[in-house]
Amino acid sequence: MGKTTVAQYVYNDARIEAHFDLRGWVCVWDRSDEAELTREILQSIGGADDALYDVGLASLERLQERLEELVAMKRFLLVLDDVWVDEGKTEQENRGMWNKVLGPLKCAASGSKILVTSRMRLVAEVLNSTHVVPLDGLGSNDCWLLLMKAALGGGTIDIPPDLQGIGRALAAKLKGSPLAAKAVGQMLRNTRSPQKWRTMLDTDICDNIIIPSLQLSYQHLPGHLQRCFAYCSLFPSTWRFDRYKLVKIWIALGFIQPSTTEEKRVEGLGQEYFDDLLSRSFFQTANKGQQTYYFLDDLMYDLARHFSAHDCMKIDEGIPVVIPHTVRHLSVSTDHLPQLKRKCRLGRLRTLLVLKSSSLSSSYFPSKLLAEFKNLRVLYLTDSDIVELPETISQLVHLHYLALCCVTNKLPKCIYRLRYPELQHMPVLLFHGNHPGGIGKICYT
């Protein structure tokens, strides 16, 4: 969040300029060629002549010799902006590549610094960083100040009161993103018409400005991680994820496909998927007592919703006229359950997440309705009002994951038949009460 902007403030500070003999800035992005990176560093620091900088006219060894000569006994600051790891290489290979590129800098004077910005936590490990500074989003007032500065320049003294009010409303929609604040401000640059500002306020800022700024992070994800991340939009924006339960859901849906059928291997691979997303800052951590939970911040949640729109749908404010035929994963409150059959073909769904209704609703899942979910793999009722399931639960032969809450003895005895002999992963039952005899015939946690 604003990594490059913070680095620019540091780099351009007059005290920094006076302190270092040499300064250089390299936008790395997806570069992973050792010679190309060395050329970029040389050119940025200012020691590369044309012959050396031209691609192919100097070997890596010659470039590194020149870089070593340039920084010898001098104090430098080098900013490596927007660094990624090469997905086609192992962590050790990435580490080796960077060790080679940065090797010539070791002969510099004491006090030399390399400042790295990245969207991936793994980069800090690969580059052996000594100090990591996570950046949160801007506060509402700071976001407003940045927006107004980009739009009107200078301070806030001469800003008309009506524009101040609209500006604060705009800042609230930017969700702490400095990139979005600057982009919106530049669109309104030197414009003092309240009508034009209100038009911007009515614009879908999330889809038109914020999402495009985050797309690169998503597009850098391998396909299997894109699917796992986008699926998380099915849950409410304030949801706190238990990583182990989330991985079990991914497994149940077939998102994790290892080369072996050993369940331990599948679970382990799922945890690797989660750790990969965590290292790229798609998840944030939160602690409650001794328990660690994970969540999507506002921007990541919007990103997940954007890329999951074709197959995930969350119904939280009234049921839509039509549920698209492409939707395979559905989140709905209990009071909307009875209306689902008229809105979509329930046999298409793979996930049904039922949440507690804000109004009084039935605690029983309608028998005929439940039977319609013939291909359901995940039925998540933990946070719903439902405490009683009908006999038709046994007809959901593809069900891999079942999560229940507030269960008494109202579960049908046939529930143990859910064990499907061809499944590698049995249904997971989460109980917060008594469970029926015979439940031991299936796996539960």
Tens digits of residue pLDDT in 281-326 = 789 887 766 788 899 888 889 889 999 989 999 887 665 667 888 9
Residue 131 lies in a domain: no
- pTM score, two decimals? 0.64
Q: Is the pLDDT of residue 19 over 90?
A: yes
pLDDT at 431: 44
Beta bridge partners of 22: 76
pLDDT at 148: 86
Q: Is the pLDDT of residue 335 over 80?
A: no
Query: Is the domain of 279 the same as that of 368?
Result: no
Q: What is the mean pLDDT of residues 149-173?
A: 80
Bridge-based pairing of strands 291-295 and 284-288 is antiparallel
Average pLDDT, the chain: 80
Q: How far is 43 from 84, CA to CA, in rounded Å?
A: 21
Domain total of the chain: 4
In the chain, DSSP finds a helix count (H) and a strand count (E) of: 19, 10
Query: Is the domain of 333 the same as that of 428?
Result: yes
Q: Is 51 helix (H, G, I), strand (E, B) or coil?
A: helix
Q: How far is 398 from 301, CA to CA, in rounded Å?
A: 29
pLDDT at 304: 93
Read off the pLDDT band of 248 (50, 70, 90): very high
Query: Is the domain of 261 the same as that of 188?
Result: no
The residue type found at 336 is H
Query: Is the domain of 387 the same as that of 409?
Result: yes
Query: Is the domain of 94 the same as that of 147?
Result: no
CATH of residue 432's domain is 3.80.10
Q: What is the mean pLDDT of residues 104-110?
A: 94
Query: Is the domain of 414 the same as that of 328?
Result: yes
Say which residue the tokens 């609209």 belong to: 166
What residue spans of 220-323 are helical by DSSP H? Answer: 223-231, 243-252, 263-279, 298-308
The secondary element (H helix, E strand) that includes residue 145 is: helix 140-152
Q: Is the pLDDT of residue 406 over 60?
A: no
pLDDT at 36: 86
Q: What is the sign, positive or negative, of the torsion defined by CA atoms of 343, 346, 351, 353? A: positive
Query: Is the domain of 248 the same as that of 198?
Result: no
Query: Is the domain of 432 the same as that of 333?
Result: yes
Query: Is the domain of 314 the same as that of 288?
Result: no
Query: Is the domain of 27 the same as that of 87?
Result: yes
Residue 132 lies in a domain: no
Read off the pLDDT band of 157 (50, 70, 90): low
- Lowest average pLDDT, out of 158-172, 258-272, 336-350, goes to 258-272
Read off the pLDDT band of 214 (50, 70, 90): confident
**Domain final residue, candidates 74, 96, 126:** 126
**Domain final residue, candidates 306, 329, 349:** 306
Domain around 121: 3-126
> In this predicted model, what pLDDT tens digit does every residue of 21-79 receive, in sequence order?
999 999 887 777 888 899 889 888 876 554 555 555 578 888 899 899 999 999 999 99
